[in-house]
Amino acid sequence: MKYKQTKCSKTLNRIQFNLMLISVLMVGISKTTIAQTTGTKASNNLAPKELPGKGLKQFDFFYAGEAKARNMYIIRGGKITWSYIDTVGRGEISDAILMKNGNVLFAHQYGITLINSDKKVLWKYDTPEGFETHTAQLIGESHVVFVQNGNPAKVLVININNNKIEKEFKLPFKSGTHGQIRHARLTKEGTILVAHMDLGKVCEYDVNGKELLSLEVPGVWSAVQLKNGNILVTSNKRFVKEITRSGKVVWEYILDEIPDYKVSSPQLATRLPNGNTLINNWFNQWDSKLDPSNAPVQAIEVTPAKKIVWALRSWTDPVNLGPSTTIQLLNDTNSLEKVHFGDIR
């Protein structure tokens, strides 16, 4: 005997089905809401509460960064043992190098200054109106090589004893002075690596401006030659890579993939003697307000296997370091001082 549904039973079944569907949907929505809430909470944490390593005592280091104030520090044993606080200048410190003799050369957007350990100004260069300089390096005791952004962008070498320009050549560039070039470094061969942030490439030039190498690196902020001849680059696209001169990537660290950390603004990376890589994490004081209860790390040390073994977070007194750009270990000066540019030594 076949069962024949009545109009009433059909209506009842439909109501039961709808109620069951609503129940399933509500469970799904509830689970999604919980997952989203949990995910949002996790994503808002800029770094773990407990960090690996020994904090400020991990290394003795020299520190400077792009900030509203032009501050530089030397940290020894976890404490500030030297500081330079510029309260009258203008611009931001994009590059700074501590020398063995205690002198510091730093580029600060509208000029370059060389000071000694007593903070006396030994030499100073002011950029012409409409130009900026964000990177500079000493050659021996008498010369400074630097890049000047503007129209045109240039590499210049100045004799600091008489302020005469001894070398000068133009660089390719796009419009927009501030975003052209942030970093350049001399190589052991006596050439210069220039990180063309605006063009998205790293170029190597000889002392006469001849281009010897060009590698595509989108958003490149800095480029330095390693001992093995490869080039370590950082990018505002949030990655750090070691690449060969042929452009092959032999190591890369994608910062968006780091669990538990937000390293959103790398600028400089340094390969340490132990093979690890030190990466800074800049904080933009102009666009963001720091939350001391949820502050980002200022640097991380990463193994070749991409494990974070040290993280620096020091935003409060007595050691409030501020935003980071340069973190130079105190035992790492030879690679920055024993340089030449062509026949200029």
What is the per-residue pLDDT for 25? 42
Indicate if the pLDDT at residue 318 is higher than 70. Answer: yes
Distance CA 225, CA 227 (A): 7
Indicate if the pLDDT at residue 9 is higher than 80. Answer: no
Give the confidence band of 20 by pLDDT, cuts at 50, 70, 90.
low
Can you read off the two tokens belonging to residue 62? Answer: 């020299």
Give the confidence band of 13 by pLDDT, cuts at 50, 70, 90.
low
Can you read off the two tokens belonging to residue 115? Answer: 């000071």
* Tens-digit pLDDT profile for residues 69-89: 999 999 999 999 999 998 777
Give the confidence band of 334 by pLDDT, cuts at 50, 70, 90.
low
Give the confidence band of 338 by pLDDT, cuts at 50, 70, 90.
confident
> What are the residues whose beta carbons fall under 8 Å from the beta carbon of 22, sequence distance 6 or more?
none
Indicate if the pLDDT at residue 31 is higher than 60. Answer: no
What is the per-residue pLDDT for 14? 57
- Of 310, 319, 237, nearest to 270 (Cα)? 310
What is the per-residue pLDDT for 24? 39
The topology (CATH level 3) of 57-337 is: Neuraminidase (2.120.10)
What is the per-residue pLDDT for 1? 42
- Of 92, 52, 75, nearest to 283 (Cα)? 92
- Where are the domains positioned within the chain? 1-37, 57-337
* Tens-digit pLDDT profile for residues 108-131: 999 999 999 999 999 999 999 999
> 């590698």: which residue's tokens?
215
Average pLDDT of span 150-174: 97
* Tens-digit pLDDT profile for residues 179-226: 999 999 999 999 999 999 999 999 999 999 999 999 999 999 999 999
Q: CA-based Rg of the chain, rounded to a whole angstrom?
A: 26
What is the per-residue pLDDT for 80? 98
Which pTM was predicted? 0.85
What is the per-residue pLDDT for 18? 52
Distance CA 280, CA 144 (A): 25
Q: CA 77, 81, 87 angle in degrees (round to 5)?
A: 140
Asked whether 272 and 278 are in contact (CB, 8 A), the reply is: yes
